[in-house]
Amino acid sequence: MTTPADPGPGRTVPSTQPAPQTVTDRPPGAGSDTAAGTLRPARPRWRETLGLLARNPTALIAALVVLGMIVVALLDEQLAPEGPNEIDVGARLQPPSPDHPFGTDDLGRDVFSRVILGAAVSLRVGLIAVSISLVVGTLIGLLAGFYGKWVDDVLMRLMDMLFAFPAVLLAISIVAILGPGLTNTTIAIGIVYIPIFARVTRSSVLGVREEVYVRAARSVGSSDVRLLARHVLPNAAPPIIVQTSVSLAFAVLSEAALSFLGLGTQPPDPSWGLMLSEGRGYIELAWWIAVFPGLAIFLLVLSFNLLGDGLRDVLDPRQRTAMSGGRQ
Amino acid sequence: MLIGVSIIVFALIQFVPGDPVRLALGTRFSQETYDALLERSGLDQPVLQQYFTWSGRALTGDLGVSFRSGEPVTALILERLPATLTLALAAILVALLIAVPLGTLSALRPRSLVDRGATVLSQIGISVPDFWMGIVFILVFAGTLGWLPSGGYVPLTEDPWGWLQRLIMPAIVTGVVSGSVITRFVRSSVLEALGQDHVRTAQAKGLPARQVLSWHVLRNALLPLVTVTGVQLAYLLSGVVVVEIVFAWPGLGQLALQAVQARDYPVLQGAVLLFALVFLLVNLVVDLLYSRLDPRIARR
């Protein structure tokens, strides 16, 4: 069960771990003003990172799409020409037209408006769920990687157990217990992606914890909390940031899948996954009901993935091959 | 590991708020049915004893009875297992058929048009929602073109042609996602193998390119491929859940979903346990295969 990015618990071989970002690891042209980088590690510098990211056209476009979706989600009701549940029985199953750019569904609701309103649902679930996995998973990975020994063994065994369940099935089971609905779906997705954050953080921490600057800080008497917060976490962050972007993609997909299965968002609320499952019955009569929400999911997921790739190139060039893609 | 997994699966039913038996039976039921089910499920006993009874029975292949139909869970699962395994194996075949040629080609010509195309394709494949792709496939190939049936399942033994026709779409939909992930791995491991000293030596001593590729490059690239294919096979089982619903494929995923909808917790437990077992088994096989394929590991 070991992946190239993770040597698995019980094996702590920091030398084989991807080294942390130090000044010399920066891609040529990145510029390094702190040449004496032996004691002071180079932190990911935001302006520099964004600058490099902006030079990658694919990542730039992806970032713009994500940003656009966020704007759409924030402005939802002002942007949508009609309310999400305005039923117009006279205009059922209308094909796309200037009045209804994405057509209307079986109840005469405007598909375009519902797709716009669905953006907020997808993004909200994605952000909250990933926040849950990010906070819990990173904390577990930090503790496991930093303290090693039995802490590592216990925590990572637990993570392995959670990892043994297919993600969608685990989410379905959690929703089955908590009951269907948007909040429970969010919690379920959050739990499902904890192990991946724990693994990524752990293997990144393993590479950092024996660095000179960490040992130096320890030798001058820094507390564990200070060590972790000031020295380990900031330097172990790049792979975690990349994982966050990729996980947002999976979280959006998972929400759509669960809503499609009737376990997530409940009707009549607009959610892309739910719209897909409603449109499925009319696929031969009215393809637009299912096709447009699906395109929206695809676009958002693709953008998060491409953004993740771009971030990986900038922040964590060594992991490019080891971690590329791991859909679960 | 196995014990941990079994505890998680067991805990599923414990976390259900309220009385799972009452929830499953709905509003109209007789006290006798209730008592019988409660006793059979063992939920009236202390938790620890419940776990040992449940796991002891599970070891002998007894996963309890369905709250709904009263049928043994094991029988329900065995009935569905062949359909899911067929789909999973067909999908991994599709995935490899896509990934190996595409990944190798793009590694041989890095930054070429083929490479860029493959990168774009694999990114699309990873991002596309499989259930949506399934619906679009049904629209195009079953609806507009009318080439294939839109779903369902017939056993191979009864109607081989019908079986194949119904297998094609779900297998492609499930396989494309895994294939996209594997393509990236094939590309990077072939690239890595190409850069190794023994490959340069082989090229330098004038071996034909084809022989270098098959004997020196692909053999070395095979190792990571085995790992990632194994991992993907396990993940693929997860994707199968949703695809089975889209194509009305009567497999374990469909059974699990029906169990959720009917609050039939023993069936859900059984299905979840089986998926986790398959995952662990696949990983074990991968580890064993790995040391068989790479003598360096076996010798260590």
Average pLDDT on B206-228 reads 75
B209 with B267: CB under 8 angstroms?
no
Chain B residues inside the 8 Å CB shell of A165: 5, 8, 272, 275-276, 279
Q: How many domains does chain A have?
A: 1
Average pLDDT on A85-102 reads 76
Q: Is A292 on the interface with B (CB under 8 A)?
A: no
Distance from CA of A217 to the nearest CA of B (A): 37
pLDDT of residue A235: 84
pLDDT tens digit sequence for B111-138: 778 888 888 888 888 888 888 888 888 8
- Asked whether residue B166 is assigned to any structural domain, the reply reads yes
Please state, in angstroms and rounded to a whole number, the distance separating the CA atoms of residues A126 and A198.
18
pLDDT of residue B12: 73
pLDDT of residue A1: 37
- Asked whether residue B116 is assigned to any structural domain, the reply reads yes
Interface of B with A in 104-123 (CB under 8 A): 122-123
User: Is the CB of A4 less than 8 angstroms away from the CB of B139?
Assistant: no
pLDDT of residue B232: 79
Is the link from the previous residue into A84 a cis peptide, with omega within 30 of 0?
no
- Asked whether residue A5 is assigned to any structural domain, the reply reads no
Average pLDDT on A233-248 reads 87
pLDDT of residue B35: 72
pLDDT of residue A194: 92
A272 with A256: CB under 8 angstroms?
yes
Structural domain span for residue A181: 45-323
The pLDDT-based confidence of A328 (bands split at 50, 70, 90) is: very low
Residue B234 or B142, more confident = B142
- Asked whether residue A259 is assigned to any structural domain, the reply reads yes
Which of A278, A327, A328 should we substitute to test contact with B (largest number of B Cβ atoms within 10 Å)?
A327
Longest dimension (CA), chain A: 77
- Asked whether residue B167 is assigned to any structural domain, the reply reads yes
The answer to whether the predicted template modeling score (pTM) of the entire model surpasses 0.90 is no
CB proximity list for B187: less than 8 A, separation 6 or greater: B103, B104, B106, B107, B115, B118
Closest alpha carbon to B181 in B224, B244, B219: B224
pLDDT tens digit sequence for A251-289: 998 898 888 888 888 878 888 888 888 888 887 778 888
Average pLDDT on B76-96 reads 88
The enclosing domain of B184 has a CATH number of 1.10.3720.10
pLDDT of residue B239: 67
- Asked whether residue A271 is assigned to any structural domain, the reply reads yes
Least confident of A215-224, B40-49, B287-296: B40-49
Interface of B with A in 211-240 (CB under 8 A): 224, 227, 231, 234-235, 237-239
* pLDDT, averaged across chain A: 77
Answer yes or no: is pLDDT of A228 > 60: yes
- Asked whether residue A26 is assigned to any structural domain, the reply reads no
The enclosing domain of A245 has a CATH number of 1.10.3720.10
User: Is the CB of A3 less than 8 angstroms away from the CB of B12?
Assistant: no
pLDDT cut 70: percent of chain B above it = 88
Q: Is A27 helix (H, G, I), strand (E, B) or coil?
A: coil
- Asked whether residue B117 is assigned to any structural domain, the reply reads yes
- Asked whether residue A20 is assigned to any structural domain, the reply reads no
Complex ipTM more than 0.90, yes or no: no
Please state, in angstroms and rounded to a whole number, the distance separating the CA atoms of residues B279 and B267.
18
Average pLDDT on A73-81 reads 77
A283 with B139: CB under 8 angstroms?
yes
Please state, in angstroms and rounded to a whole number, the distance separating the CA atoms of residues A265 and A71.
21
Answer yes or no: is pLDDT of A43 > 70: no
Q: Is B199 on the interface with A (CB under 8 A)?
A: no
pLDDT cut 90: percent of chain B above it = 1
Q: How many domains does chain B have?
A: 1
pLDDT of residue A35: 40
Partner residues linked to A309 by β-bridges: none
- Asked whether residue A207 is assigned to any structural domain, the reply reads yes
User: Is the CB of B123 less than 8 angstroms away from the CB of A172?
Assistant: no
Which of A13, A173, A187, A246 should we substitute to test contact with B (largest number of B Cβ atoms within 10 Å)?
A173
Answer yes or no: is pLDDT of A22 > 60: no
- Asked whether residue B12 is assigned to any structural domain, the reply reads no
* Nearest-Cα residue of chain A relative to residue B243: A257
- Asked whether residue A4 is assigned to any structural domain, the reply reads no
Structural domain span for residue B120: 80-253
